[in-house]
Structure 1
Amino acid sequence: MEDDNISDTDRALGFTIPARHARGRIVRLGPVLDTILAAHAYPPAIEALLAEALTLAALIGSTLKDAGGQLTLQAQTDGGVVKLLVCDYKGGELRGYVDFDAERLAAGPEQPSLFALFGAGYLAITFDQAATRERYQGIVPLDGDTLAQAAQNYFVQSEQIPTLVKLGIARRADGSHVAGGLFLQHLPEGEEGRERLHTRLDHPEWEHVAILGGTMGIDELADPVLSLETLIWRLFNEEDEVRLLSEVAMTRGCRCSPEYIAQVLGKFPVEEQRAMAGDDGMITVDCAFCAQKFPVAVTNVVL
């Protein structure tokens, strides 16, 4: 029986099911999610969209084996209310923001569909490997009713890997948020997978795992009283073996600071720096991720 005082949030936990040639990741966000959302004061529909995207970024990003690697999730519109959605994950650090048309959002339904938000938009997922300096990007249409469905389409179309993604977002009575996510993949040649062209999308082992994963309720994913270990046990307790992998702690990770911004601005020629500065000799940089403004004197950035 669960202890009602337990709050299992802001971490991701991986696992494998060797006999089924499957791997998974489960994540739950709490205070970290509230910290990111509080910086923007978005309307409820945009707030829910960003919460879902941050959870998705945490799910996929925490599968990176390269500790210095980065995952960037970007959804861009084609005629929708949202102009741009960006989230990224690096070493357990999350950040994200949404650029949207406030007037069009207000004129639409209270709970707009994914198509209403993005129109014929697309989802791009980019993996940057720090160790090898390699970059891989896949782009798919924003098909489906949710970002979770769009992500599933990404892995089937771009990676040819059978994948299940489930996301659950809840707003609690005190106004705080809890978000949970489940990510399952079939790797027919063991935990490392096989060549994409030879992956079978209809393997019976995967059908079994996907059916079990589909029974996970959104309310369970977003319930901080239920530990991540408990959720994995509920799904797969009848399997011969489920191996838990190392967990990843989640934090808010905007990387902006006056020092970092001065370093970036210092890469521009002096003439361009002066052109960017106001009459007071200051260059003001807006960080979309944390919604802060950073004034930097030109004299502090010239190398």
Structure 2
Amino acid sequence: MPEVANLDEAVSFAMPQRGVRGRVVRLGWLLDEVLSAHDYPAPIARTLSEALVLTALLGSMLKEPDGQLTVQAQTESGIVDLLVCDYRSGELRGYIRFDRERLAALPSHRDLFALFGKGHLAITFDLPVAGERYQGIVPLEGGSLAEAAEHYFTQSEQVPSLVRLAVDDTGHVAGGLLVQHLPEGEEGRDRIHTRLDHPEWEHVRMLAETTRPNELFERSLPLKDLLWRLFHEEEVRVLAAVPLVRGCRCSFEHIRSVIARFPASERDEMVDEDGFISVDCEFCSRLFPIKLSDLDD
């Protein structure tokens, strides 16, 4: 069995001379844990896997330890009507809701529009320390989730970006690459002069586009080696890898505290005949029965 490299990790890199930053991610065991919560058909599992990789790519850029990044896709009449993933402190979780009967009748599952139809992509940054919350919303466009993400960065952030997402045939390993151009050189600087055809960006983009899908999910290929293959003629600064884990924040204590905030009259309406208020967490597919009498403690 080949040596496993960089599973469930995000690696950051920068090319200061080119004004470029990026992330490369590979998910493995974490993916299995998230997908095992539901009996997802292969095309739905693949879509959620890509979304989890995208969320890890974006979330690992957060500088606040308790910051949260949420990726959400909603549609009006798609086979998939809701996809939501979030990242906080290296923890990932995700859920996708779909129409199983309509999916079975679909001749092809590879096209983004075939699964989602008309909808929108929302990416939300929550930064509690800074007291800021920012959300960008764009139409869900393109032939893949990666193209939809590129469209988001172009339209909402005005940041030239390249996104690549890939899932292996087994569905147990997925990887992704995000490369972005910050022409002013430093994060946080004014990017009013961003150009999608900037020569520095065109050069790096052409190199990044040579990434093959199997390189993103190849277990035996260290992510640092992948970056060397792509950019070996460039000055690349590779930072320490960020470990990623599956993390659902639901617990009896948390759910009890949320329900306790409701007025007593509303809690009485929620209770079942056995005296419980049952809350279902879609992320981890667990049911939390909270006894009404416990809320008065």
Same-fold status (TM-score > 0.5)? yes
Provide, for residues 169-199 of structure 1, a one-character-per-residue CA deviation record: whole Å limited to 9, x for no partner: 0133xxx610000000001111325324321
1:163 aligns with: 161
Do 1:274 and 1:281's aligned partners in 2 also have CA atoms closer than 8 Å? no
Do 1:122 and 1:141's aligned partners in 2 also have CA atoms closer than 8 Å? yes
Q: 1:7 to 1:242 in 2, by over 3 A?
A: closer
1:275 aligns with: 269
Provide, for residues 99-130 of structure 1, a one-character-per-residue CA deviation record: whole Å limited to 9, x for no partner: 11111111112525211111111100000012
Alpha-carbon distance in structure 1 between the residues aligned to 2:135 and 2:27: 26
Letter in 2 for 1:291: S
Note the 1:41-52 alignment, pairs <5 A.
41-52=39-50
Residue 165 of structure 1 aligns to a residue whose secondary structure is strand
Residue 53 of structure 2 aligns to a residue whose secondary structure is helix
Note the 1:74-93 alignment, pairs <5 A.
74-93=72-91
Do 2:93 and 2:283's aligned partners in 1 also have CA atoms closer than 8 Å? yes
Note the 1:130-279 alignment, pairs <5 A.
130-172=128-170, 177-192=172-187, 194-239=189-234, 241-279=235-273
Cα shift at 1:8: 2.2
Residue 86 of structure 1 aligns to a residue whose secondary structure is strand
Alpha-carbon distance in structure 2 between the residues aligned to 1:163 and 1:193: 16
Cα shift at 1:42: 0.6
Alpha-carbon distance in structure 2 between the residues aligned to 1:110 and 1:51: 18
Note the 1:80-119 alignment, pairs <5 A.
80-119=78-117
Cα shift at 1:302: 3.3
Cα shift at 1:301: 2.3
Alpha-carbon distance in structure 1 between the residues aligned to 2:141 and 2:68: 25
Task: Provide structure 1 residue ranges, at least 5 long, that are not aligned to the other structure.
Answer: none
Residue 66 of structure 2 aligns to a residue whose secondary structure is coil
Alpha-carbon distance in structure 1 between the residues aligned to 2:147 and 2:110: 16
Alpha-carbon distance in structure 1 between the residues aligned to 2:155 and 2:86: 21
Residue 198 of structure 1 aligns to a residue whose secondary structure is coil
Alpha-carbon distance in structure 2 between the residues aligned to 1:11 and 1:128: 22
Do 2:69 and 2:123's aligned partners in 1 also have CA atoms closer than 8 Å? yes
2:38 aligns with: 40
Cα shift at 1:216: 0.7
Residue 197 of structure 1 aligns to a residue whose secondary structure is coil
Alpha-carbon distance in structure 2 between the residues aligned to 1:64 and 1:156: 19
1:70 aligns with: 68
Do 2:184 and 2:191's aligned partners in 1 also have CA atoms closer than 8 Å? no
Provide, for residues 75-121 of structure 1, a one-character-per-residue CA deviation record: whole Å limited to 9, x for no partner: 01122111111000111100011111111111112525211111111
Moved more, 5-14 or 57-66: 5-14
Cα shift at 1:145: 0.6
Do 1:164 and 1:210's aligned partners in 2 also have CA atoms closer than 8 Å? yes
2:12 aligns with: 14
CA root-mean-square deviation = 1.3
Alpha-carbon distance in structure 2 between the residues aligned to 1:201 and 1:23: 15
Do 1:159 and 1:196's aligned partners in 2 also have CA atoms closer than 8 Å? no
Cα shift at 1:219: 0.4
Taking only the aligned residue pairs, the percentage that are identical comes to: 57
State TM-score, norm by structure 1. 0.95
State the 4+ residue runs in structure 1 displaced beyond 3 angstroms. none
